[in-house]
Amino acid sequence: MSNRHPLLIAVEPVALAVGGIIVTANKVNDGDVPLYWDGELVGGMRLPVLTVALDRVIAQVETELGGTLASLSREAKQHAVAMLEERGAFALRKSIEEVADAMGVSRITIYNYLNAIRSE
């Protein structure tokens, strides 16, 4: 049986899904999300660096769509951009350029897809 606190065990899948990790109470830093149980600090969730976050979101979308962004059809690329927009990927600096590179299209194409999505 694990000696880890049940809260840490319960939230670990969430941390892993967003690219974070769970740390014990004695390793919680200022930037971590503290996790309390009955008023006692039992651990924390260390979130990923934002530059890694975009790569992780792109990888999730590729997994869900069954191929790399570059290999997708035009319609699937539009859907991928919609998924990325829904997940906040384009709030990150230089994300348009990175997604365009990953898709093998121009930045203008990504902006066109986003304009179409945002005008719906």
Question: 37-94: per-residue pLDDT in tens?
Answer: 999 999 999 987 666 678 888 999 999 999 999 999 999 999 999 999 998 888 877 8
Q: How far apart are CA 20 and CA 53, in angstroms?
A: 10
| Structure-block tokens of residue 99 | 């997604």
| Domain residue limits, the chain | 6-46, 50-118
User: Looking at the whole model, is its pTM more than 0.75?
Assistant: no
The yes-or-no verdict on residue 114 having pLDDT over 80 is: yes
> What secondary structure letter does DSSP report for 54?
H
pLDDT digits (tens, 9 = 90+) for 4-30: 999 999 999 998 877 789 999 999 998
- SS3 at position 34: strand
| Structure-block tokens of residue 82 | 């919609």
